[in-house]
Structure 1
Amino acid sequence: MPLRPPIAALSLVALLGASLPFTHAATPPTAESAAITRFDDYLAGFRREHGIPALSVAILRDGEVLWEKGYGWSDDEGEVATTADTTYSIASVTKPIAATAILAEAAAGDLDLGTPMGADAGWADTCEWLAGSQILFGRGGKEADGTPVPAMDCSRNITLRDMLNMRANGDGSAFVYNPISYARIDRVVSGAGGRELRSIVRERVMDTAGIRDIALGWRDPGGGSALRLLAPPFVVEDGKPRKNTMSDDDFRAAAGIKASVRQLAQFDMALDAGKLLPAEWHALIFDAPVAQAAGDYRWGWFVQDWNGHRLAWHSGWDPERYSAIYLKVPDRKLTLIVLANTEALWWGNSLVRAEVEASPVVATFLAGFVE
């Protein structure tokens, strides 16, 4: 039997030029329709320019899906079209979802946010290793533009509350994005006698929001069709996509979820409807003042003020595999979700500044839908 040709043998024009819409929730007003058309054209061009095989987007307004679309193909032979149910590794966009579940568990009285990170038996060794490593958010130093990054201080009694706010570095007065330390949160919870993090997220978020077929890591027994519908990762070399291997990392508070834009939209709607967290938590995360010009990281979210608007967001980056953007504009009741099966959505984020407008995709979105 003859073998099918590999992706390199396919027409890249056919592969990267196609964009296949999926269901629209409603016909938007004329002004929004024009903004959607412009953003649609931009994303189609962005995808072609960056050689992204599969790209999915959803925009929500007032708690409903305003527009959603899939571009390209979710396999390596150009035969399986991207749909609303195509799943991706969402990388660090896992963080706000895990944090929401942890806060809900704490609100129910089943978890103490004051639990020390030392409840994880391996925390001390991890902290000392990071602080002595060449990793910038561990040893400290300066970013490429000279912005200081304080080192981790392993002598401090860093708590679960500190870690959910990325306060593991320096004296904890300002955030430093520290994903390796954040990835120890599940061990802290179980080490203090709490439930497995996967069970907490499944019950407090997925079941409450009615989200099905989402995989909380490779080993999730409740993952349903998430892995079957997963768009494989690609690395782009010389403008051409090449299928890459899958990461074997399982679920942690820092990363690991495999989800579609439709499932993340369900999470967003449930969060804004008050189904997942008490109202006071929603206000604390999204409405409380941001004291520092560099923005903040609070309870699993980057938060910043931009041109008179509050922005709450998270990005996801699985190097040479996947990338993601999840942005909320609370005063406009507006949300953007974009997922890709390459790293093209990542923009080299700062460790100590919240500046999502530096993303070209987000900048284009803000110009069209907010400004």
Structure 2
Amino acid sequence: MSITLDEVKRREKGLRIINSKVRNDGIDSLIDLTGLAGGFDVTPEDISLLETYAGPAVFEDRIQELGVAHMGGQKVLPLNRTTSGIAATIITLVKPGTKIVHYLAKEPGHPSIPRTASLVGADYVEYTNLDDFKIDDNTSLVVITGTTMDLEVISEDDFRQVIDMAKEKDIVVFVDDASGARIRRAVYNQPTAIDMGADLSVTSTDKLMEGPRGGLMAGSSELIDRIKLTVNQYGLEAQPPLVVGMIKGLEKYSPERIKEAFKQKDELYQKLVDENLNPLTTPTGFMFKEDEIKREVEKRGVKTDIDADVIATVYSMLLIDNYNIVTIPAVGMPGASKTVRIDWSAKDADKLSMDDMVRAIVDVFDKTVSVIKENNIEAVLYE
């Protein structure tokens, strides 16, 4: 997935809208339904320890205790991003001229995986069908994505089968479990990736939990120590403010909110269908893929050759501007999915009713049509 300067500039516009709303109405005016709200629920005592040496010394035991309980394994490694863990793992374990094979529910995988494969001179291939999946003799790493960017989950049987195939060839299995460490377990009652036999697993500490944007990797002490050396060499480690935020997020995490959203998603879905919309359900809410957003706009009387990802970003930007509802296309990092996804397990979902949510969704489709008819896209996305 390529990243363009336009995406960077669109994100800057989305953040400017948020900045204006926070300045005028306060942080509580925002309704962040991305599932990535994160958090730094730190105390004055924690803040006093945010020093280069004191912080790591004090926080290490607690992050190990909580991290291993959450993810399994013998040891965890806090990182400044999940992407950092992916890059460090590939740099550490993958030799030039070898291959990385990746199994996931639906393409594409996280772009950091093929990018780092290219960086180290390795081949890279993705599989979404077990009948096609194969591990060549020159494969150096098997990657599994437990839950895709759009929250599509692979089955436990498929998970275990890929691990077994890798183990037959004595190849390390690395799991990108960014949101899966919670979705897979809370909704589908799957074990941790490590408990299913994976060697390494990394999760995002802001996805479906109230932690900061960071990464947490789990595995055997031997592998974690090898990767930690690479992490330190490249400056990818989590600094004390991130680590204490992770600790607070792990302490507060409960699967109950995710389970409740899973129960409610069908009611929310039906309300949208009753408005003649065509969403897809997710484990904790609903989503409109970018192509569906474009189809819905055209169904409302405007034919356009504008790319679907641009229309989806316009829609997301209008949700923020008109209803304070934050979704990924307008504010996500460049390269992120342009699917408009509503996570009903997000804590900000308490700020509006289902009916309020549906009214906003419908109205913003109408507003998106008006923007296209008036040829006002540039102003919405950049000005």
Q: Which has the higher strand share?
A: 1
TM-score (norm 2): 0.26
